[in-house]
Amino acid sequence: MPIDNVHDKFFKDSFSRKQLVEGLIQELFPKELGQKIDLASLELSNNSYTDEKLEEHFADIVYQCTYQDSKKIRVALLFEHKSYQEKYPHYQLLRYLLNAWEQDHKEKEPMLTIPIVIYHGKNRWRYQSFPQYFKGLDTDLIRFLPDFNYLLLDISQFSDEQITGFSNKFLALSWILLKNSRTKSYLLNITNTFVELIKAIESAGDMSYVRSVFLYVISTNEHLTKQNIVEILQNISTQTNNVTMSILEARQLEGKIEGKEEATILFVQKLVKIGMDSATIAQTFDLPQNKVEEIIAKM
């Protein structure tokens, strides 16, 4: 699977969890803004406002919520694909906002959208306002330019200590993995932190997220060996051990399933045994869902 797809899938699986987004708003939004958002009203939307061109730049997760107890607004989490800063991000963001508002007009009045760019490249993202793209304009000309802001969350600018200090451990775990994911065998550098955060997620009872996390780290740690994983798992629950080793075995089978019926069947069976459903298997590993369902029906 292309590495960008792996990052996208992990982003979408993580930020589709309401409790993680609640933590993001509480801990990373400007205080004055975050306090005015009713967290209890957060509702994941099925809508996406990317199009063919925008999909080259970012993936989106969209929530609707209530602002100051009355007004409905949209929070759009935009996961930047590139490992370097986009030169003119407002161009893509303006297209995104227009897509959202055009869709709104088909049904109701336009809804205000807060665009949040989540960037996990190595180099710092330098924020500019839209008018700053245009040099030498006086105020009489600047008034003809659109001027809007976006909220930038540059993961590279958070230290590991800051991240582990987040009170929301779902957010902390996703943030530290995304921050380090472009470093080879990064899990070996953050093993103790990773184990403590996994324990917190286990305590919260969300084994589906534990599974998603291990699927991600196994897919993005190029030189991580089976022995490395065994050592990491020594201080984690037996249930997580079993889930992780099944994922590792399934990953080893994945490269052998091209055109091989028996390998595909074994691959799907292992994933079902760790609790993955047909839709998740099909989407995660780019397999036809009807084929996956057929294999499951015969188990």
Confidence of residue 231 (pLDDT cuts 50, 70, 90): confident
C-alpha to C-alpha distance for 231 and 191, rounded to whole angstroms: 10
Mean pLDDT estimate for the chain: 87
pLDDT tens, residue by residue, 102-133: 999 887 889 999 999 999 988 899 999 999 99
What number of other Cβ atoms are within 10 A of residue 24's Cβ?
23
pLDDT over 80 (residue 45)? yes
pLDDT over 60 (residue 86)? yes
pLDDT tens, residue by residue, 167-204: 999 999 999 999 988 777 778 888 889 999 999 999 89
Share of residues in the chain with pLDDT > 90 (%): 53
Asked if 198 and 163 touch (Cβ cutoff 8 Å), the reply is no
Which of 84, 74, 50 shows the shortest CA–CA distance to 151?
A: 74
Beta strands in the chain (DSSP E): 37-44, 58-67, 71-80, 113-119, 151-154
- Classify residue 44 by its DSSP letter: E
| Global pTM value | 0.83
Q: Radius of gyration over alpha carbons of the chain, in Å?
A: 21
Spatial neighbors of 103 by CB under 8 A, at least 6 apart, are 47, 49
